[in-house]
A and B are shown apart, each in its own frame.
Chain A
Amino acid sequence: NAGVTQTPKFRILKIGQSMTLQCTQDMNHNYMYWYRQDPGMGLKLIYYSVGAGITDKGEVPNGYNVSRSTTEDFPLRLELAAPSQTSVYFCASSPQGPPYEQYFGPGTRLTVT
């Protein structure tokens, strides 16, 4: 099992550009999540999904969009990138049942200049 995989590992964007961060899991987890982590800060939830076709906003959704067409994939779209979106982005998944422990991908380091 690969677990949770993310691409790309690193990316530099110019202000105003758009991109999609890819996330795939092979654990057949229904629940998936996107977080961002800024230096010295805790992880902040951007969006989450409880199954294919179902997504909802987390704490910091502004500037992002998601879709969930399959159980395996949960891409995160950045539209009109801004320097405030410079961060490390982690995708995670969890089983459908308590205690809902989450398993993380290796992250994408994004710089917007």
Chain B
Amino acid sequence: RKEVEQDPGPFNVPEGATVAFNCTYSNSASQSFFWYRQDCRKEPKLLMSVYSSGNEDGRFTAQLNRASQYISLLIRDSKLSDSATYLCVVNRGTGAGSYQLTFGKGTKLSVIP
């Protein structure tokens, strides 16, 4: 099983649609979880951290299921500006692994007018 696995997409959705991305991770010792977005030919930017209780930031909702080692990101009311690649990111566990991150290859989203 890959360390962090995501559906590469692309997901092509109309403006205003709701879209969900999923991610699975293999290291049960992982304790920190994030979603980053990466625009074409740009650096990854932190979108949101993911907490066990789930968290929401405007139109974005992230969920974590530790038992299934599964992370999700829901985007409501999609905007053209949401078009990007979304990276699922987890840390490598405890000790030195706590501050080392493993990045998924990303899921590409295109929002269509």
A interface list, Cβ under 8 A from B = 31, 35, 40-43, 45, 48, 50, 56, 58, 90, 94, 98-107
Contacts and interface: CB of A to CB of B under 8 A. Distances in A.
Contact of B91 (A35, A41, A42, A100): A100
B106 A100 contact: no
A42 B42 contact: no
Given A94-B99, A106-B43, A107-B42, 8 more contacts: A41-B105, A42-B4, A56-B96, A90-B43, A98-B98, A100-B101, A101-B46, A107-B43
Interface in B55-113: 87, 91, 96, 98-106
A90 to B, nearest CB: 6
7 contacts: A43-B103, A48-B100, A50-B99, A58-B100, A100-B91, A103-B46, A107-B43
A42 B105 contact: yes
B49 interface: yes
A78 to B, nearest CB: 19
B21 to A, nearest CB: 15
A101 B49 contact: yes
Given A43-B44, A106-B42, A106-B43, A101 B34 contact: yes
A42 B87 CA distance: 9
A110 to B, nearest CB: 14
Contacts of A90: 43-44
A43 B87 CA distance: 10
- Name, among A31, A40, A42, the residue most crowded by chain B CB atoms within 10 Å (CB to CB): A42
